[in-house]
Amino acid sequence: MKITILGCGGSFGSPLAWNRHGNIDLNNKRNFRTRSSVLIEDNNNNILIDTSPDLRQQLYNIQCTNIDAVLYTHEHSDHTSGLPDMRAMSLINQKIIPAFMPKEMKSKMEIFYKYIFKGEKDYLPFMKIENLENNFSINGTNIETFKHNHGSIDVQTYKFGKFAYSTDLKKFYNEDIDKLKNLDLWIVGLLREDPHPAHAGFEQVMEFINYIKPKKTVFTHMTALLDEKKLKDKCPPNVVPGYDGMTINI
Ligand SMILES: [Zn+2]
Ligand SMILES: [Zn+2]
């Protein structure tokens, strides 16, 4: 399984034109972050998690020409609003692409993106909403999902065997964190150093890491307040900030 971090920025991306930077080094290309999304290549299957507003550029950067399915973590616009860019993926491969999403997202997505899911006037639908089950499979790739807390809403963690992706994480419900024990790779959202009402801060994310002990942890969804090198220097060697274009084989 090959995992590519297409984007690892928070909702504004990084850096910012108005210079609200936490002393990030602008000579370090890894501090240039598009909005969060990840591509999983497994069994000749290309699975995309979230459609960030930067999707077109992200797919261009890695020369990706096919997506077999999209999995959504939650409805926030930094995770969904690149959806219209999927039209090219449908057209060039002549297929309707399934979009898996939690049921609370479904009606909003159908209204916002009616032409995509239902078609409108001359435009035929090019994606199809699929209901999300706790365990499901896409062309032989088995996926497990559960909800974690993101302030006033919930977000899906997705788990593919020994890899899991938990972005926009404030806390886990009940004993769900135990489902993440024995991971080879955990990609987890770290918005900024300090806690935010909808995102855990650095100390809390490190507590999660110290509890589940993944072999490797990669941070995503980082604001321009987090400098890649400074963050790396304060973490153990198996905990690293991600960067756009990072690939990991597990
Ligand atoms: Zn977000
Ligand atoms: Zn969010």
Compute, in angstroms, the gap from residue 215 CA to the centroid of ligand 1: 25
Compute, in angstroms, the gap from residue 45 CA to the centroid of ligand 2: 26
Which domains does the chain carry?
Answer: 2-249 (3.60.15.10)
Encode the chain (250 residues) as per-residue pLDDT tens digits.
Answer: 999 999 999 999 999 988 888 889 999 999 999 999 999 999 899 999 999 999 999 999 999 999 999 999 999 999 999 999 999 999 999 999 999 999 999 999 999 999 999 999 999 999 999 999 999 999 999 999 999 999 999 999 999 999 999 999 999 999 999 999 999 999 999 999 999 999 999 999 999 999 999 999 999 999 999 999 999 999 999 999 999 999 999 9
**pTM score of the predicted model:** 0.97
What single string gives the DSSP state of each residue in the chain?
A: -EEEEEE-B-TT-BS-TT---SS--TT-GGG-BPBPEEEEEETTEEEEE---TTHHHHHHHTT----SEEE-S---HHHHTTGGGHHHHHHHHT-PEEEEE-HHHHHHHHHHTHHHHT-BTTBPP-EEEEEPPSEEEETTEEEEEEEEEETTEEEEEEEETTEEEE-S-SB--TTGGGGGTT-SEEEEE---SS-BTTB--HHHHHHHHHHH--SEEEEESB-TT--HHHHHHTS-TTEEE--TT-EEE-
Compute, in angstroms, the gap from residue 231 CA to the centroid of ligand 2: 22
Residues with C-beta atoms within 5 A of ion ligand 1: 78, 168
Compute, in angstroms, the gap from residue 67 CA to the centroid of ligand 2: 23
